[in-house]
Structures are given as C-alpha cells and as structure tokens.
Structure 1
C-alpha cells in the first residue's frame, strides 16, 4: 500500500474557497496514480486525479484536482447534504485515524463542494448498499463540522477541504500514522478508482488503505460543545363574560453538551433534550407486515460513538430510549480497547409504569490485523422490581484476508412486576463470509428462544431458528464491452419455530431465490429474480379462529396447506443512468403472497399481487 510523509506548517492560512491559490499548497504532498476498482479491477484509471495533503496545528487539509476529458459531462447538483452519491460525481476521503483498520471517518465532496459524511465501520452498521448484494459499511447519520468548497473548471473540477482536529478522535501519541484511502466516482459510466489499489478478494477495505506517516504533535485543543434550548408559551381563552383570560405561562429548558476529555475519549451529556430539528423518519409501508420496522437513529446525542456499540446482532438500539429526561455517555478508544457507556432516564407515559433507568455498556478489543472480540451489557430498570438485562459476547475473526467468521451469544433476564412474569432466554448466531472478486459466499444461522427479550435492542423475530445462505458469481467483460459484468446469485432462507427445530419437526417457512444482474455499457443495469416461498402451518397457531358454515354455525378455520407450498414471485427491472439530463428506473413484480390475519398474525390465504414502479429524474440544469 502507498505511504507518504505528511508535511506540516505552523499556520496554513488556507481560505477554503475551492480555488487552490493559497501558498501553503506549495508545501503539500501529492497523491496520484489512481487505479480503477470497478467495474475493471486493477486497470489504470480512465481520468487522472491529483490529491494534495498537509496539516497545521489545528486541522488537516485536502485539495483535489479531478481531471476529465469531457468536462461538460461531469454530473453535479446543488443538493442536500448526504444525498448525492447515487447521482453526482464525487471524491471520497476515508480517514482511519486510529490506523486499526476497523473504523474510519468518511468525507465526500461533489463538484460543487456539497458535503456527504459518515462513519465507516467494518464491524457492521452501515445504512446503504455497496453492490452485488453487499451492504455498505458507511453510516451516513453522523454529521461532522468541517469546511469544503469546489468549482468546475475547463479541465474538470477542483476542491478544498479543511477538517479540524476537534472533529476527529485519534490516539494520544507524539507521532502517529493514519490510514487514508481516496476514491473517485464518475457517474456517467459508473467507473470508480482509488489512490491505494482495491480488490474485492480482500474482505476488509480499510486494510487496503494507504498511510499518512509522520503526523507529529497533534492536539485537538479544548473541545467543548454546548447546545442549549428554551421554549415558552402562554395560552388564553374567552370566559363566560367575554373577557380574554390568560393562563399561566409555561416553558421548557434543556441542553446537549460534548466535552473532549482527551483526543480519544469523549463525554456527552443531555438534559431534557429537544429533537424537533431532527429530520423525520422516512415513511415505510406497514400493510400486511408481521414484524416491527427498523428506523435508523438520527438524534445527535445518540450518534457520538455509535460505531462502538455496533455488533453482529443489534443488542443496542437507542431508539428504544424514546423520551429521555437526562442522559450521559462516555465513548472512546484506549490502545486496542474500544469502550462505550450510555446511561439515561427514559420517561414513560404508560399507566402503571414508572420511568426507566437505562444503562448500556460495551467493550471491544482488537485482535491481530482485522479481528475483534467484545462484550455487552444492557439494563432497563424501573424503581420497582421491573427489569430487563442482557449480557452478551461476540467475536469476529478474519483468516487470510478473505474469510470472516462471526459469532455472538447473549442471555436476557426479564422481570415484569405488573404482569408477574419472570423470563430468561438465550440467543446465538454464527456467520461465515467469503470475499472474492468473482465468487462470493455467505452463510448464517441464528437461534433465539421465545423467552429471550432484548429490551434495549432490535430483533424482528424471536422464538425462531433461522438459516440463510447466498452465493454469487460475477463474470467481467473488457473495458468498453457491451456486458461489463454478469452476476447470477442463489439465495436460500429457512425459518423454524425454536422448539420445533430442536425437536427436528421441520421448517415453518422457506425461500429459494435465483437472481441475475447485468451491468451494461454506458451505465445501464438490468436485473431479474425468481423466487419460490413455502409456508407450513401448525394447528395450534389457529386456535380461536372460526369460519361460518353453510347452515349458520361455525367451524375451526384451517388453511389449505397445498396453496402455500410454492408461492412464486418474479421481478424484472432496469436502471438507466446513461444520459445527463434524464435518468430513471422501472421495476415490475408479479407474485403470490400470503394474507395475514391482523389479530392472530397467521396466514389465511394467498393472494395475487402485481406492483410496478417507474421513476424519472430530470436535471434541467447543472
């Protein structure tokens, strides 16, 4: 991997305006020689990219020159933050400040300097898709304080970036090295290139980054952030004598505060927080859904150090803290040990319930180059004897850079004084992944007892045993070929009731899906899949369900099993990102789906379903 010495100046004095005309850039080191990693891995980049890097006492600076032989075809829009990586050209900086190859900061700019940032977490926790069925490890929810500006030029575009050390967490060392990867994407053809070569045959992308060496005497200084708020109101009404009478005024006060104890340890606090400025959740369809829907965390207090609480299974889901009265959090990394603690008082409005005291503790230790082991403890306790506690451990082991084994186990302890119910339960999961440019494979098994209650976490289903596996193979064409890649895949899923699985009584749900994806020349993608699903019913699930018989009586309802033995589903779609002004996609699905009783949550009958979606985006100006 490429390595460079990082030049330092006392005070760069750079005005971040995207013009690159400050004298300090004369001291910067040049990063060039980009290679393509998608769609053709290892070939020379089709367009040149030059990166400049230097630091001063307060910040790290990046400048970029993205050359393009067809500058009129560069795609750029003045758009919202964190919203353009599927539509605009961009350059992305991935900064691994602890050089541990497990988490990194992500800073991205488009040709107008619009920002897109987040956290890269190799352990998991991303919010997007990376392609070929793989989920992106980038969590887009955190927003950092940094400066950027850019401008289009006759030869492409250029940009300047300033990232204060106060916005980063890094080791307290006299001299250190940071991992750095720089990626560029050209949207009109989908080509992606990077400074340090990237191969899909290595599971850990951060392990393939380059190095910024010679970072000396870094100091983020005093870091303190306080966000107070106050609201007030006074109401009035007309009384029986037609006089306007005012009620007593009411008011609210609260704050969020962050203090950097050291460059690698952060303390957060909140009192009566106001989340009215947080973006509302994106709408999700809840019709005919049997399980809870997942909503990502976007509240600022809960986002600091969120990557530390990431695990193979979501035993920590801070959205379970719904109405915090007050809270505190300590997160950071000391040597190879990442630690996180979150405590909060959660107000409850349920009749007969008291406020809940929440404590979440997480520790994770680095092993070798890319492996980790960790432990977690969660506790939700009220003033009475109500409590929910979970103790768990997890491990992620990488072998040979290609194979990843993940394991997790946990046990919950729950007492409900109102219902006079005490339950203890366990869960366990195993996962295997094989990374590869052409052949990829993953397999997973998860088992949870019905009595397992992750009160501070998120599980869509409990009381089940689940197994799934996916394998895919991708053929790559030559650069400029009509078929740039063809990628068939096979996915199999199976679900059992936990008790029946261990008694060997057969599955309850099964699914087999065959898919194929065709990436064509000029950024056109066609995909298709065909799926068979099977539902097997147990008589006890239908106790209490009756239907009327022809003579006016009623009889127990039982579905016709044969109707659910092979429910087909087929989907075809096309995504066109070829043209500058008009882009869009079309998707058509024809399927048979079970209809579920809303009270008993059991399948009643299959129904034919047809859905179509067409989306057209028009970009009249750049």
Structure 2
C-alpha cells in the first residue's frame, strides 16, 4: 500500500513517552520564549531581515533535532526561532543557517505548493493548547506561503484553509532568514479557561538525505505530528487581553462573464455582470461567522481528471472553494480514500453543494468543546448520489435545495464525543435527514479508537426516468469503527463498517451501501540495524523500511430492491508487500495482489492476480517531484464481467525551471500527469482503454503576478462485442488565467476556459474578469 511521501514527511510523530524522550539529544526544559512588546517598542518591519533592535532582545530558541530521514539525531545545521508578540500579532523571526547556500532550492511556486522538494521553514500554532489541531504556515526560501490545518485524530494535514499571513525572506551568504507576521485575528482559541498556546517550528533541507528538522523532541513511532508541540513561554495574559478583539472583513467581488455553449446544432450565448460578496466576522476570540452571497468560483483550479470508465462507484474530489474552508477540523471534512474506507468523519462533503446562492456559517471553540453550523441555498445543477452494493447511481439535481449541517464535539484529555445533524430539503415533500454520533479514544501513547454511527431518513427519490419524486420514507444507517496503533515496531490500522441498503447522505459522500466490510493494514517496521543489506541491494542508503500486509473483505447485506442477496462477497483483497525510503526523499513500494471481485449481483467472483509497484522522489532542483505507479496482471473488466490481462499506469512529474533571457525572478512551474488503464479480451486485443492527461503550467513573474494554463483530456474507448456496444468518449478542456494578488483579500483575475465533449459535439467557451477587494474593520 502506497504511503504519500508528503504526508509521511509531516505526519509521523507522537512522542514515545518520557523514556524515549529521555534518549533524545534535546536540552531538558528547552522551550520557545516570546518577547512582549511594550510601550515605545517598535515592531519589526516584515522584510525578511532580522536587523531591527527588537530582534537583539528577543529570546533565541535553537534546540532543533533531526526528524527525517532519521530521528533521534542532533540537527546537522543550525536553525533559530524568535517570537515577538503584541496585542495584534505574533511575529516570528527564523534564521536558517546553511554551509552550502548555493544549494538552497528557492523557486517560486503557487500558494499551498511548498513541498519537501523546496527549502522552507514551517510554523505550527495551537492556540487552543490541547494538541488536537494546529494551524500551520510553510514559508519557502523564495517567500511562497503554504498554510492549513493539522488534525491529530486522523494525523492529517489540510492545505485548503488560508490565513491572512504576511511573510518575507532574505537570502544571506550563510543561509536565509524569514519574518512571519501572524494576526491574532486569524487564530481560533477559547474565550476562557484555555490552555497555554503551543508552537512547533520545522525546517526542510532537500539535499541528498532530504532533511527535516523540528524544534521539539519528536520520534517516528507516532500517532500524531502535533502531540509534542511545546508551550510558548512569555506570553503571560496575552490571550485574556486580546480575547475581546473583534474584526469584520467584507469582500465584494465583481465578475463579468461571457459564455457560448453549443450542443450539436444549437448555440446559446450569454454575457452578464454579477456582484457577490463574502463576509467574515469574529465578534470575539471563540466565535467566527462567515457569510457568502452569490459567490463566484472562476479562480478555482480545475479538478484533476480521474479514470472513471472501469469503475462502478462515484469518485470524490477535494474542496477548493473558500467559504467551506473555515475550521474544517470541527466540521469533520473527510475524504473517501478507498471504496468504503473513510479518513475522518466524511459526514459532510461540501462538493455536494454545487452552486450556492447564499450561505451562512457560525463556528465556536471552547476549552473542551467546539461546534459549527451552516446553511446554504443551492441553485442546483449538480449530482445526487444513490449508492448500492455494486455501484453508485447519479441523478441530476434539477431543483433548488436548502442544505443545513451542524456538528458539536466535546473533548477531554483522551476522550472525544460528538454529534451531528444534516438536512437537505428539495421542496415538495422531498428531503434527506441524517443524525449521527461520533467518538474517539486515545488508549495510551500508541493506540487510538474512533467510530461513528449515522442514521438517515429520505423522502427524496427518483422515478424510472430519473425524475425527482417524493417517496415513502426510507431509513438507513452507517456504522464505522477504526483502530490505529503506532509504536517503534508497528504501524497498524483496522476498520469495520456496515452501511445499510437505504442509507443516504445528500450532504455527504456515499459511494457504496448495502455492505459490510472489514480491513486490516499491518506494517512491520524494520529495525535500523537491519537496513544495510537493503541499501546494498537498492544502491541507495535506506533510512526506513516496512514489511506490509493489507487484508480487506466487502460482503453484501440483503437488498431486495436491487436484487442483492445477503452474504455475497463483493471484494476480497490480500496484499503482501514492502516499502522503504531512501535518499532524495525517495520512497519505493511494491506488493502482490491476490484479489477477488464480483462485478454484479449474482455474478461470478473473479480471481485477480496483479503486481503493483510505485515510487516517488525529489530527484533534482529542476525536477522537483517524480512519481509513478504500475498495476500489471489479471484485472476485472467491470462492464463485460470478465477477467483479462491488463495494466494501469500513472506517471506524474513536477518541474521548476528558470527562464533564460527573462528577468531572473521569473520562473516556470510545470506539472505533467498521465494515467492510462486497459484490459484485453481473450483474443488479446484491448476490450477498453481508459486514459486521462493533465498539463499545468504556471509562469511566475513575481510573488503577486502569475499566468496559469491547464490543459486536460480524457478518453474512453471500448470495442463492440456481443453484449456491449462500441464507445468512444472524449473530453478536453483548456483554461488560461492571469492573476494579480495582494494578500488574500485583494486580487484581479482575467481568464478564458474552453471545453469540449464527444459524442454530442458539445462545446463550451467562457471568458471572465473578476475583481475582489476586502474592507477590514
């Protein structure tokens, strides 16, 4: 099973306890200290230079350790962090010393694309102080910002949220320095009884060994990256002094859009101006209110195309729209990572909201509890999913609907309990309601249990033509329980789940129902002293390795409406394999698949045998990321309900290139992704070919100005045979956008998008210009 290298780099740390911490070369009592600005003090200017007088007085914290590629080692390069605080900001001054400054990777990139292939420093802040979640910001050596939220429950990082940060970098003869101003208005913390704020700083050095240094005594035998964040000393009563501070941001946006749609011989043209607005109001530290009116998402990047021709189930896509990204850790925005498996709660899937006319949301955080609620008016035009054991039916959302969701959560030191309510009302007696309970329990430093129970009631159905109709109420449930264990020797997870046939969640993501399933992932960590032979075999120094075994089975629950009997095996997986990490942040994995799959109710349970191989690496400054995956062997052709020889190949490369002859600060960010899958018929010719390609190019003219081009294509071809008609489906899109951005709240964009689809001779062309300006109070 492949482990994401980015998640690996910044997602593997929980302290192994006092005994393990005592073994680390970390000074006892080391703690970052802040300097409070007093009357007459001059706050530093954010220019990346640590030359103001205040930095000569601020305490220096330089107790950093190596965390990647090998932990428990002293940091090979010095890094220092200083913190200055006033009643409006935390200001960080970070000095990254480097004996080889010419090797620093400092290319311009898009916001939120600061990865381990670049030199960067990272600041993680937990203003609640409970180490359950933390806001973070990465600042590359080129001054690019990536920000988001860490969550401890699922050991994940979400880059979707954006904060109003200001950062600057200065290159120096012996490294670089960073200044980061973090407004206290962007922090979320309790009004009363809050714990001390916590901090961790990390530094990435992408050389041969791809170093990651951290300012806390972390180890890899981990449940969560943020569990050992340290208290920030010297802040005193700052939280109490600023908890009454309020702010109000109003961001009107004006958009001009001209469209030309052609469907066969019919052509429709339209040109219009629209005015929208977003509002963010924080009346005090623990409350945030967001509102949106007629939002326009023309600047949002196109979704990456996925292979969908040989699957029975709906595919999830990540959220990128700003309104939905406030406090995502509270709402429980989970992503489906494998059919039926969920990372996070996944009870609210914001992409189910297609075109909101207006929306309002409120979020509250206390010392041991938090809650959020939202309601939106959706203009429709999207898809409503209705799942079964062998596929996901997709119906057009033809009506305006009201979507409402609320979740609250109480948390103690090791125990968390939550409840939620979700409603989708389509009018005319058609609705979907969901109630749920969820919980988590951290059983010591190595084990965590999580679970949820969701119950639905649905009166929104569809007739045989797919038209929406009111139906007699159908009820269903979804029960899920997971266990995660991480120690020096093992990293294991297990899930059990049951989803009843009539369970539906129109505000969530449900791709399969009417099933019971169980899965187990066992990862046996190889002792460091045993890695030398593996390094000799691979010709690289190997830093980590695991023997892996993945087991999974999905079976049916009786569903008379779809003709499904109880106890049919839909899927069975047995995947033994290995994984290791070597130089240049290179991870390699391989496993054998001894699988069985059934394509339809009452059909044959087909045996499948494949070899799966993958790798990811940061090879060079210009080739910042290269990854590949290969599945080869006997694969299932779902439509034909048979097995044939086939393959699935994925290649992705990310390049960062200087542009000779142009200003030195100009650079090109280029990403290429190619994916293709096929299965052959018994006569050895291909039964189908499924492909997707994406090219993304960004010309950076300055940190504020860029031109982005995205070219995408998809194709699915199937040969005709006795029971199947010939198919040739093609889709293409091209997007070109220029953007000038001043921080988060002021921008101007102009662009064009063209898309086509065959058959049907569909052509869609769109031109737009958009201006956003934020007024603050």
Query: TM-score by structure 2 length?
Result: 0.69
Aligned to 2:226: 206
Whole-Å separation in 2 of the counterparts to 1:252 and 1:612: 43
Whole-Å separation in 2 of the counterparts to 1:514 and 1:360: 41
Task: Provide structure 2 residue ranges, at least 5 long, that are not aligned to the other structure.
Answer: 1-28, 260-268, 335-343, 382-394, 462-468, 536-540, 659-666, 668-777
Aligned to 1:170: 189
Whole-Å separation in 2 of the counterparts to 1:352 and 1:194: 48
Offset of residue 518 of structure 1: 2.6
Residue 604 (1) aligns with residue 624 (2): no
Aligned with 2:523 (options 455, 464, 472): 472
Whole-Å separation in 2 of the counterparts to 1:385 and 1:606: 45
Aligned to 1:483: 542
Alignment of 1:417-496 (within 5 A): 418-477=469-528, 482-496=541-555
Aligned to 2:34: 6
Contact (CA 8 Å) 2:36, 2:234: kept in 1 or not? no
Q: Deviations over 1:378-398 (max 9, x none)?
A: 011233211110000011000
Offset of residue 507 of structure 1: 2.3
Contact (CA 8 Å) 1:397, 1:406: kept in 2 or not? yes
Offset of residue 589 of structure 1: 3.1
Whole-Å separation in 1 of the counterparts to 2:62 and 2:648: 47
Q: Deviations over 1:533-579 (max 9, x none)?
A: 102467x556xxxxxxxxxxxxxxxx5x5xx22x1111334444354
Offset of residue 616 of structure 1: 5.4
Alignment of 1:120-519 (within 5 A): 120-124=150-154, 137-173=156-192, 177-188=196-207, 189-215=209-235, 216-218=237-239, 219=242, 221-231=245-255, 251-310=273-332, 312-348=344-380, 354-368=399-413, 370-416=414-460, 418-477=469-528, 482-499=541-558, 505=567, 507-519=569-581
* Change in CA separation of 1:341 and 1:618 when aligned onto 2, cut-off 3 Å: closer
Q: Please give the secondary structure, in 2, of the residue aligned with 1:185.
A: strand
Aligned to 2:129: 99
Q: Please give the secondary structure, in 1, of the residue aligned with 2:304.
A: coil
Contact (CA 8 Å) 2:246, 2:285: kept in 1 or not? no
Q: Please give the secondary structure, in 1, of the residue aligned with 2:567.
A: coil
Aligned with 1:531 (options 569, 572, 593): 593
Q: Deviations over 1:203-243 (max 9, x none)?
A: 233221111134223427331111112346899xxxxxxxx
Offset of residue 196 of structure 1: 0.8
Contact (CA 8 Å) 1:175, 1:217: kept in 2 or not? no
Whole-Å separation in 2 of the counterparts to 1:416 and 1:277: 33
Aligned to 2:763: none
Mean CA deviation greater in 315-324 or 224-233: 224-233
* Change in CA separation of 1:399 and 1:2 when aligned onto 2, cut-off 3 Å: farther
Offset of residue 510 of structure 1: 0.3
Contact (CA 8 Å) 1:27, 1:54: kept in 2 or not? no
Q: Which has the higher contact order (CA 8 A, sep 6+)?
A: 2
Contact (CA 8 Å) 1:40, 1:476: kept in 2 or not? no
Aligned to 2:612: 571
Contact (CA 8 Å) 1:589, 1:611: kept in 2 or not? yes
Contact (CA 8 Å) 1:173, 1:217: kept in 2 or not? no
Offset of residue 63 of structure 1: 1.1
Offset of residue 162 of structure 1: 0.6
Aligned to 1:554: none
Whole-Å separation in 2 of the counterparts to 1:434 and 1:336: 25
Mean CA deviation greater in 471-480 or 23-32: 471-480
Aligned to 2:24: none
Offset of residue 475 of structure 1: 2.0
Whole-Å separation in 2 of the counterparts to 1:280 and 1:614: 19
Q: Please give the secondary structure, in 2, of the residue aligned with 1:301.
A: helix
Residue 41 (1) aligns with residue 71 (2): yes
* Change in CA separation of 1:487 and 1:222 when aligned onto 2, cut-off 3 Å: same
Q: Please give the secondary structure, in 2, of the residue aligned with 1:159.
A: strand
* Change in CA separation of 1:476 and 1:92 when aligned onto 2, cut-off 3 Å: farther
Whole-Å separation in 2 of the counterparts to 1:365 and 1:407: 15
**Structure 1 vs Structure 2 CA RMSD:** 2.9
Q: Deviations over 1:18-62 (max 9, x none)?
A: 111111112322111211222322111121111111111210011
Mean CA deviation greater in 218-227 or 13-22: 218-227
Mean CA deviation greater in 142-151 or 391-400: 142-151
Contact (CA 8 Å) 1:12, 1:56: kept in 2 or not? no
Q: Please give the secondary structure, in 1, of the residue aligned with 2:644.
A: strand
Offset of residue 399 of structure 1: 1.1
Contact (CA 8 Å) 2:200, 2:214: kept in 1 or not? yes
Offset of residue 524 of structure 1: 4.0
Task: Provide structure 1 residue ranges, at least 5 long, that are not aligned to the other structure.
Answer: 125-135, 236-246, 543-558, 598-602
Q: Deviations over 1:343-371 (max 9, x none)?
A: 11122359996422221110000122x43
* Change in CA separation of 1:573 and 1:327 when aligned onto 2, cut-off 3 Å: closer
Aligned to 1:591: 633
Residue 57 (1) aligns with residue 76 (2): no
Whole-Å separation in 2 of the counterparts to 1:233 and 1:150: 37
Contact (CA 8 Å) 1:176, 1:214: kept in 2 or not? no
Contact (CA 8 Å) 1:321, 1:346: kept in 2 or not? yes
Offset of residue 617 of structure 1: 5.2
* Change in CA separation of 1:65 and 1:319 when aligned onto 2, cut-off 3 Å: same
Q: Please give the secondary structure, in 2, of the residue aligned with 1:31.
A: coil
* Change in CA separation of 1:586 and 1:507 when aligned onto 2, cut-off 3 Å: closer
Aligned to 1:23: 53
Mean CA deviation greater in 5-14 or 409-418: 5-14
Alignment of 1:82-121 (within 5 A): 82-121=112-151
